[in-house]
């Protein structure tokens, strides 16, 4: 009796080379874009981030208009209309983490890396697609949130206009801030490779630790490092009230936030290059 043997599997990358199709960063980018827009989580999380950005900005603007005290101390018409940014960062963070950890959960990452054996182009493509989509979507959402918020605040002469240089920077800054937050979350996901651990770590970094530092640690101690926490460092771009609360200028603070994201991505890239998926 003879035993049938399965044909040997043909590696994907050599097959692509033999057919004249080279693996390039542009082709990897296109592949990751197709995967990104086909995920249901992309639609849900981006939709939620838009709703949070616009809806909460309008809600807090309406609260300020109907409050006898007006806006809270330290807030401006600009920061009030863009309050949704700080809630939208949770949605884009979940999206960033799922973009990476979802493939590890399903095992699809092994197929991706088989096609792109150098590995790192896959990570660069994922981050580029994520950052571009989040920036474009949230730029539109932040502009709508700003205009709607100012329309509400102007009913009591509390609003401002987009001609204000701080307003322009803040609208773009909200989109830049959320893009950097999403990339940080994706880097955490690529580093930890587990959805629950990645989202928990992201929430701790962007929500829990800043709150604990502000409420528990003495101000004299916190003043030495609190401004360098990613969420604190990036907020100067959005509200323009960095002054006493944050000694970093808006762009210096955003640079510190980007440096943190780069460090996380570098660690993720090292693990991806040196360890198996």
User: What does the H/E/C string look like for 119-154?
Assistant: CHHHHHHHHHHHHHHHHHHHHHHHHHHHHHHHHHHH
Range in 6-20, 154-168, 211-225 the model is least confident about: 6-20
Banded model confidence at residue 117, pLDDT cuts 50, 70, 90: confident
Can you tell me the distance from the alpha carbon of 266 to that of 160, in angstroms, rounded to the nearest whole number? 41
| pLDDT value at residue 192 | 96
Instruction: Return the CA Rg of the chain.
Output: 22
Whether 9 shows a pLDDT value over 70: the answer reads no
Buried b / exposed e over 130-154, threshold 16 CB at 10 Å, is bbebbbebbbebbbbbbbbbbebbe
12 vs 181: which has the higher pLDDT: 181
Mean pLDDT of 81-87: 93
List C-alpha distances in Å: 272 to 28, 120, 121.
16, 7, 11
Among 52-56, 150-154, 240-244, top mean pLDDT goes to 52-56
Mean pLDDT of 155-172: 86
Each residue's pLDDT tens digit, 181-231: 999 999 999 999 999 999 999 999 999 998 888 888 887 787 778 888 998
Mean pLDDT of 6-17: 45
187 vs 2: which has the higher pLDDT: 187
Banded model confidence at residue 21, pLDDT cuts 50, 70, 90: low
pTM of the model: 0.87
Range in 136-145, 156-165, 200-209 the model is least confident about: 156-165
Tell me what the pLDDT averaged over the chain comes to. 86
User: pLDDT exceeding 70 applies to what percent of the chain?
Assistant: 87
Supply 226's token pair.
């609190």
């Amino acid at each position: 009796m003879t035993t049938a043997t399965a044909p040997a599997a043909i590696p994907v990358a050599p097959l692509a080379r033999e057919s004249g199709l080279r693996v390039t960063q542009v082709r990897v980018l296109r592949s990751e874009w197709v995967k990104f827009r086909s995920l249901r989580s992309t639609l849900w999380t981006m939709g939620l981030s838009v709703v949070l950005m616009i809806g909460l900005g309008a809600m807090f603007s309406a609260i300020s208009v109907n409050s006898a005290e007006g806006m809270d101390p330290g807030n401006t018409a600009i920061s009030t209309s863009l309050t949704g940014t700080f809630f939208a960062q949770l949605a884009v963070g979940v999206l960033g983490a799922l973009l990476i950890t979802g493939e590890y959960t399903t095992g699809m990452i092994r197929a991706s890396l088989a096609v792109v054996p150098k590995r790192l182009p896959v990570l660069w493509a994922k981050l580029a697609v994520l950052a571009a989509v989040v920036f474009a979507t949230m730029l539109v959402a932040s502009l709508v949130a700003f205009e709607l918020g100012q329309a509400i605040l102007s009913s009591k002469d509390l609003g401002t206009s987009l001609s204000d240089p701080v307003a322009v920077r803040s609208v773009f800054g909200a989109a830049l801030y959320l893009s950097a937050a999403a990339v940080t979350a994706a880097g955490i996901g690529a580093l930890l490779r587990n959805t629950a651990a990645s989202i928990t770590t992201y929430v701790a970094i962007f929500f829990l630790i800043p709150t604990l530092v502000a409420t528990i640690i003495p101000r004299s101690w916190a003043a030495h490092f609190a401004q360098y926490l990613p969420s604190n460092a990036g907020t100067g771009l959005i509200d323009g009230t960095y002054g006493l609360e944050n000694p970093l200028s808006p762009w210096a603070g955003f640079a510190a936030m980007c440096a943190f994201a780069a460090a996380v991505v570098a660690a993720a890239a090292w693990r991806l290059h040196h360890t198996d998926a």
